[in-house]
Structure 1
Amino acid sequence: GHGRTIGLVDGLAFDVLTQDAVALIQNLKLERPYLFGHSMGAMTALEVAANRPDLVSAAVLEDPPFLDRSPSPTERARLQENAQAGLAFRSLSLADRLARGRADNPAWSEEEILPWAESKREYQPEIMNSWLRGESSLPLWRETLSRVVRPLLLITGDTDRGSLVTAEAAQEASRLCRPCEVAHVSGAGHCIHRDRFAETMQIVLAFLRKH
């Protein structure tokens, strides 16, 4: 639902994404790679680390959707508002999307702006429909975290800027998963690596050097 997906995306299950990631590792014959995922990719990386620890060395999770399977009324209203805004943004010309992206995200590199603007034309908000109906395939993140034995780095941003992982959820993650380290990047929203690239890379590289 974020790119050139063909067909229905409503109800696309995380186990399919996890199977794809596992198949990629195996077919490329990668020897216990480090996984780095953002948002949906972070949850997929978490699932791979929990279910196939033999295939990975460690995983970096950037603002995964640590959400309950049924949204609260506040979350439901916010998602519906975001979906409408996304549809309106998708209808803009590429030039207008680029201009908006540069204005709204002055800290982003130019290399990020163009693919981001192009991807917004391809984004399908229907991927959130099952969650809005309370029929989400979101993994039970608490249970999944409790099964992880490989080193994890959870990177969080500021919720008032759009970050998904709350301070309470981050604390719970470190309690449930002993090998989980938490790093908060102040001033970043959901796209932490774009908002604070240098700081994010410094945190990630320090983690990788240890593992």
Structure 2
Amino acid sequence: MTLPDDWTAGTVRANGIDLGYYRTGEGPPVVLAHGMFDSGRRWVPLGSDLADEHEVIAYDARGHGRSDAPESGYDIDSRIADLVGLVEGLDLADPVLVGHSMGAATVALAAAEHPDLPRGLVLEDPSRFRRRPEMSVEAARSAARERLKEAKAQSVAERIDEHYDDCDPDHARRLAAAVDDCSPHIAKLAQEHRPVAAAFDGITRPTLVLRRDLDVPDRVDDLNAADRLTDGRLVHIPDAGHYVFRDASDAATAELRTFLRRL
């Protein structure tokens, strides 16, 4: 899939596998971790926007994009080790870690276990934010397999028409094509692990949590959870759904830029 001219693609050996990554810009490093069914190319618009002040590295999680898809290693400990290995393999000093959904959970739990790794954290609508899912692990895996099967049965054009017709055409193709590079093994990402907010007690670095628009009771519960952060701020972005940076790009990016400049 085509990248803008000022982006490069590479691979790094991390935690025993090859991880694909995409890179642009110069300055203090920012590492971007995507959600399930996506790839590092999802971050091209945001990464390009940040590249005037930062070196941006967006990577493909195992089983996604250009990264290896081994049969095992989809538990949270392996995902954390992948991220830590990427940072060390690329010799990134004090990176800001940004994650969406599954990637946000990976980033948060990595920061709790490796408090000296990041300079700061940005969590975009983390999966399992305050609680574990109600469905069983096997039911979640079955749902993931079915979702992937249904998505792959559609053409890229059909996916664009259904989900991405409001995007720039080049980026719409990147988003729509991501599932074609997803291994069936990613269904194993449905694993038991503690909610993201339960890790907040162990996070010492400045943290920005960007959450979807919610009703008042859920906002209150979110803010109460965020109070556990030593140095953190949670913002509900108006009119945003799960893909906060896509649904409300200007507002979310303004919050992110403000956070980065204060680090």
TM-score, structure 1 normalization: 0.77
Match of 1:113 among 169, 172, 175: 172
Cα distance between partner residues in 1 of 2:158 and 2:69: 26
| 1:148 to 2:197 alignment | no
Report the CA distance between 1:88 and its aligned residue.
Answer: 1.9
1:40-94: CA deviations, max 9, x gaps?
Answer: 111111122212222211010001112534x325xx9899667645432220112
What is the distance in 2 between the residues matched to 1:31 and 1:80? 39
2:185 and 2:113 map into 1 onto residues whose CA distance is 27
What is aligned with 2:111? 49
Instruction: Give the gaps of 5 or more residues in structure 2.
Output: 1-62
In the alignment, what sits opposite 1:59?
121
| Alignment match of 1:20 (pick from 72, 75, 82) | 82
Q: Structure 2: how far apart are the matches of 1:53 and 1:32?
A: 11
Select 1:191's aligned residue among 215, 222, 243.
Answer: 243
- After TM superposition, the structure 1 = structure 2 runs for residues 99-178 of structure 1, keeping only pairs within 5 Å, are 99-103=161-165, 106=166, 108-123=167-182, 127-128=186-187, 131=190, 136-158=191-213, 166-178=218-230
Q: Secondary structure at the match of 1:72?
A: coil
User: Which structure has the higher relative contact order (CA within 8 Å, separation 6+)?
Assistant: 1
Corresponding residue number in structure 1 for 2:43: none
Give yes or no for the alignment of 1:8 onto 2:71: yes
User: Match for 1:156: what amino acid?
Assistant: R
| Whole-angstrom distance in 2 between the partners of 1:102 and 1:158 | 20
SS of the residue 2:116 aligns to = helix
**What fraction of aligned residue pairs are identical, expressed as a percent?**
28
Contact kept in structure 2, 1:37 and 1:62, CA below 8 Å: yes
Kept in 1, the 8 Å contact 2:102–2:127? The answer is yes
Deviation, 1:145, is 1.0
Is the 8 Å Cα contact of residues 188 and 195 (structure 1) preserved in structure 2?
A: yes
User: How far is 1:170 from its partner?
Assistant: 1.9
Alpha-carbon shift at residue 207 of structure 1 (Å): 0.8
For residues 58 and 119 of structure 1, do their structure 2 counterparts lie closer, same or farther at Cα, with a shift above 3 Å needed? same
The verdict on how the C-alpha distance between 1:15 and 1:77 changes in structure 2, with shifts beyond 3 A counting, is closer
Structure 1 contact 173–180 (Cα < 8 Å) conserved: no
For residues 49 and 42 of structure 1, what CA distance do their matches in structure 2 show?
11
Select the structure that is richer in helix.
1
Assess, with a 3 A threshold, how the Cα gap between structure 1 residues 139 and 2 changes in structure 2: closer, same or farther: farther
Matched residue SS, 2:197: helix
**Deviation readout 1:94-147 (Å, 9 max, x if unpaired):** 2222222334xx2x333431111111223457645674xxxx233342331111
State the one-letter code of the partner of 1:141: V
Cα RMSD after superposing both structures:
3.0
Q: Secondary structure at the match of 1:55?
A: coil
Letter in 2 for 1:208: L
The structure richer in strand per residue is 2
